[in-house]
Amino acid sequence: MPVPRLPLVLLTALALAGCAAAPRAGAGPARTVDDCGRQVRVEKPPQRAVALNQGSAEILLSLGLGDRMVGTATWTDPVLPQLAADNARVPRLAENNPSFERVLDTDPDFVSASFVATLGTGGVATPERFEQLGVPAYVSPADCLKDNSGDGDGARTAPLTMDAIYTEIRDLAKLFDVEDRGERLVADLTARMHAATAGIDASHVRLMYWFANSESPYLAGCCGAPGIITTALGAQNVFADTHAEWPQINWETVAERDPDVIVLGDLTRRSQTAETGAAKIAFLESNPVTRNLTAVRNKRYVLLSGQALNPTIRTVDGVAQVAQALRAFGLVG
């Protein structure tokens, strides 16, 4: 039998009452953070986030937000073991930069990135382009603190510190309404940093950091994430007079600087030559210009993940690993 129709006014009233009775998921006041001179505002905590770099992804996963992520991209290393289970449930959009369209296919309500090169002109898209579509976009303040104009990876006039990374953690925790988790993560990283550097004095040790490429190697300048490691240990960087983030420097100049220890990026990506630590060691020990370096003759190599050599939560791991290696080499007490 046919269902009797209710008057339109009554239907409207019932619908409004139903909407009022059902609380919105994630309802609450809008949240805003200052990011690289822009205001990033979310009307409610994001539920469909995309992390465009591994560093951003590992922060969100460390904050327990894997169930609110719909994509990640641009990886250099395996995920941290303790985050593997949550990460396995998040789609990998691309190993490097995904297309703008691929990101939009996930229907995101938030995107974050570690680098202006990823979330900026020449990358996936600019923050403004995402925001025109109603998608808030956040770039790590650690990258915005440097001059990103021109070619290369930018340059710094002031040394980076862990404070920039802690700011990123706190900003993301605020936007996602998990500020208590953010404070716990910062406290854990701070404690680990203190433990790794307690009682160490490496002021006489000269370090060099090689990220990738054997023909024209990317070596660390003074003031990026390797600078955090160097400063924390009280050591020296043989290219401390270079403010570019990862300048390409010829091997003859490396031979002149002759480091005591070489820190090597042990990467799993495939975009440059000599990506893995093993490939870098093989090159150093066979190349006529490098095989007689002090570090090479004494096999003083420290293998770090690419993420430890970038401004990320893993930079703390880098400090701990280099400190442990210097002790093993007998260079510090």
| 181 occurs within a structural domain | yes
pLDDT at 22: 36
Q: Give me the chain's average pLDDT, please.
A: 92
| 11 occurs within a structural domain | no
pLDDT at 152: 84
Q: Which residues contact 296 (CB under 8 A, 6 or more apart)?
A: 262, 284, 285, 290
pLDDT at 5: 32
Q: How many domains does the chain have?
A: 2
Is the per-residue pLDDT at 48 higher than 80?
Answer: yes
**Where a domain ends, among 191, 224, 247?**
191
Query: Is 215 found in the same domain as 174?
Result: no
Mean pLDDT of 27-34: 88
Query: Is 204 found in the same domain as 167?
Result: no
Task: Kindly report whether the global pTM for this prediction surpasses the value 0.85.
Answer: yes
Q: Which residues contact 37 (CB under 8 A, 6 or more apart)?
A: 144
Q: How many CB atoms lie within 10 A of CB 248?
A: 13
Q: What are phi and psi of 70, to 5 degrees?
A: -120, 10
Is the per-residue pLDDT at 135 higher than 80?
Answer: yes
User: How would residue 333 be classed by pLDDT, with cut points 50, 70 and 90?
Assistant: confident
Choose among 261, 36, 235: nearest CA to 146: 36
% of residues, the chain, pLDDT over 90: 89
Q: Which ranges of the chain would DSSP assign to H, the alpha helix?
A: 8-21, 54-62, 84-88, 100-104, 127-132, 141-144, 162-175, 179-197, 225-233, 251-257, 277-286, 294-297, 315-328
**Where a domain ends, among 136, 163, 191?**
191
Whole-number Å distance between alpha carbons of 107 and 103: 8
Query: Is 252 found in the same domain as 175?
Result: no
Whole-number Å distance between alpha carbons of 98 and 115: 14
Choose among 150, 156, 258, 149: nearest CA to 208: 258
Candidate from 18-27, 197-206, 219-228, 300-309 with smallest mean pLDDT: 18-27
Mean pLDDT of 118-135: 97
pLDDT at 173: 98
pLDDT at 149: 87
Is the per-residue pLDDT at 14 higher than 50?
Answer: no
% of residues, the chain, pLDDT over 70: 92
Query: Is 182 found in the same domain as 227?
Result: no
CATH of the domain at 240: 3.40.50.1980
Domain hosting residue 38, numbered range: 32-191
Mean pLDDT of 306-324: 98
Is the per-residue pLDDT at 6 higher than 90?
Answer: no
**Where a domain ends, among 191, 215, 246?**
191
Task: Kindly list the distances between the CA atom of residue 329 and the CA atoms of 181, 205, 262, 293, 320, in Å, as whole numbers in the listed order.
Answer: 37, 11, 12, 16, 14
User: How would residue 150 be classed by pLDDT, with cut points 50, 70 and 90?
Assistant: confident
Cα dihedral across residues 112, 117, 118, 119: positive or negative: positive
